[in-house]
């Protein structure tokens, strides 16, 4: 009976609803055993979705909001994003705008008649040298409060070490990573986090996790663009069922990459901006993106122009192996000034 009802609702709304599973759910510090909210698929939204290795879904394209710290601008951006069809919003403790995002979402969702389960919120916790377990617990609690929600769809470990007070050679880095991850596993088991993942993790860090992680990360968010394609890391993530999501798809605002011949040629061919081609480069290679903007028109184009461009993968045959999208759309190797700003292979 319930299955048939869910099928009819899914057909009418365009969202796939599944039968609930029972899990401990933490609501504002009170733990109770009741059915966890039914997983909702985001495959029907513009751009589609990835399915995590834990069964939850994440939209392939979301709105990044780092460095947007003005309430009016953020509310306007969130309203424009929801109207355009975005459902994923990416924030972090260090962005200092979680509370603003909570206010913006409450306002815009109310105007558009959307519910909490219609959106996906990602936030990130730091790895602290000083009390990493307590810092993680506090960070999640404050994120829940600031975002005005009883659960977080995805929480990432933001960096493999203390980003601001630590250093690459600190012997505590490995232990602190372990402590933070195990604390996230504990909080997830209580029900206030649906999925957990990492950010800026190299293959070394992911291999290391096999020694202590009970839960495999669902996602790794890293810098990704034609100057920095992370082939080995993405291949490893693919083998482990870890979704790869890009930040800084525009190479930190680097103008040189926008003038590379393959980028300009593709932009002219599809009638879009070079920036759109860089976003499409990620999406066409199976990588999620979180383009940042506070301009309503650009927010809409970052979604709809990107998904209408499909950089083709070249055909294969028994006689000849054709290059992949990355090879056929390659640009010169990253120059020193274009290298990733967040290299952490020794952390």
* 43 secondary structure, DSSP code: T
Q: What letters, b where the CB count within 10 A reaches 16 and e where it falls short, cover 47-79?
A: bebbbbbbebbbbbbbbbbbebeeeeebbbbbb
Are 210 and 168 contacting, i.e. CB atoms less than 8 angstroms apart?
A: no
Q: Which among 86, 95, 151, 201 is annotated as catalytic?
A: 95
Return the biggest CA–CA distance within the chain: 63
Helical ranges in 41-163 per DSSP H? 71-84, 98-112, 132-146
d(CA 205, CA 238): 15
Based on its alpha-carbon atoms, the radius of gyration of the chain, rounded to whole angstroms, reads 20
Catalytic status, residue 159:
no
Are 226 and 257 contacting, i.e. CB atoms less than 8 angstroms apart?
A: yes
Active-site residues, by number, are 95
């Amino acid at each position: 009976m319930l299955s048939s009802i869910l099928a009819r609702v899914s057909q009418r709304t365009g969202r796939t609803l599944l039968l609930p599973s029972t899990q401990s759910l933490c609501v504002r510090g009170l733990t109770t055993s009741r059915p966890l909210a039914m997983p909702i698929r985001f495959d029907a939204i513009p751009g589609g979705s990835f399915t995590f290795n834990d069964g939850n879904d994440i939209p392939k394209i979301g709105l990044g909001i780092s460095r947007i710290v003005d309430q009016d601008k953020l509310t306007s951006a969130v309203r424009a994003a929801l109207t355009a069809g975005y459902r994923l919003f990416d924030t972090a403790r260090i962005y200092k705008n979680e509370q603003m995002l909570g206010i913006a979402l409450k306002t815009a969702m109310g105007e558009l008649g959307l519910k909490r389960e219609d959106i996906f919120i990602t936030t990130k916790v730091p790895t602290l040298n000083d009390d990493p377990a307590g810092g993680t617990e506090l960070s999640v609690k404050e994120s829940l409060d600031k975002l005005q929600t009883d659960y977080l769809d995805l929480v990432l470990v933001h960096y493999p070490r203390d980003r601001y007070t630590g250093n690459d050679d600190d012997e505590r880095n490995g232990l602190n990573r372990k402590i933070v991850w195990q604390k996230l596993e504990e909080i997830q088991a209580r029900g206030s986090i649906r999925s957990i993942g990492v950010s800026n993790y190299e293959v070394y860090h992911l291999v290391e996790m096999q020694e202590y992680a009970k839960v495999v990360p669902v996602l790794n968010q890293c810098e990704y663009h034609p100057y920095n394609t992370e082939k080995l890391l993405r291949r490893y993530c693919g083998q482990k069922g870890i979704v790869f999501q890009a930040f800084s798809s525009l190479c930190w605002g680097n103008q040189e990459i926008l003038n590379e011949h393959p980028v300009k040629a593709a932009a002219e061919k599809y009638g879009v901006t070079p920036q759109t081609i860089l976003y499409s480069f990620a999406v066409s290679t199976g990588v999620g993106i979180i383009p940042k903007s506070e301009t309503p028109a650009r927010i809409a184009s970052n979604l709809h122009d990107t998904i209408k461009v499909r950089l083709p993968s070249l055909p294969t045959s028994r006689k000849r192996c054709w290059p992949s999208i990355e090879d056929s759309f390659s640009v010169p190797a990253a120059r020193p000034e274009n290298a990733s700003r967040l290299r952490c292979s020794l952390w």
